[in-house]
Amino acid sequence: MGILLRLLTAAGLAADAYVHWQFAPDMAPGPGGSDGTIPGDDLFRAQAVLAAVSGVLVLAWARKWTYAVAFLVAGSAVGALLLYYYVDVGQLGPIPAMHDPAWYTEKTISLIGEGIATLAAATAFLTTPRPSQEHP
């Protein structure tokens, strides 16, 4: 079961990384863009890189800490996607207003990947033994 959780976590994060990287140019700030916020394209690229690195970490080292990182990256992406779909929260500090009430295929792919990665990483975290328990 461990290898399945590892692959599901990494595959979900790969889908997340791919969609965010593809959409990053579309999130570039409009004219002006000097309102003190982090540009949307930078946020999307950062999410893509974090998801990709987390997926590689899980594949390279299936440890509690790598699953915890993967859970945080994927879970926060699910939360942000749903929040910005349902609620127009406006600007949150340096994070620009990113409300997007439209739904499209890529958003579905991202949500499914992030959701699978979140659930698989949480399950793996809870079922992976601590290092001191691995070798009696």
Q: Tens of pLDDT along 37-61?
A: 889 899 999 999 999 999 999 999 9
* pLDDT surpassing 60 at residue 31: no
CA distances (Å), 41 to each of 33, 48, 72, in order? 12, 11, 21
Give the DSSP letter of residue 94.
T
Q: pLDDT, tens digit, for every residue of 57-115?
A: 999 999 999 999 999 999 999 999 999 999 999 988 888 888 999 999 999 999 999 99
Question: What are the two backbone dihedrals, phi and then psi, of residue 57, each rounded to the nearest 5 degrees?
Answer: -60, -45
Q: For residue 32, what are the contacts with CB-CB under 8 A and spacing of at least 6?
A: none
pTM (2 decimals)? 0.89
Instruction: Give residues with Cβ within 8 angstroms of 114, minimum separation 6.
Output: 12, 15, 16, 74, 75, 77, 78, 81
Instruction: Please give the Cα distance from 1 to 93 (Å, whole number).
Output: 42
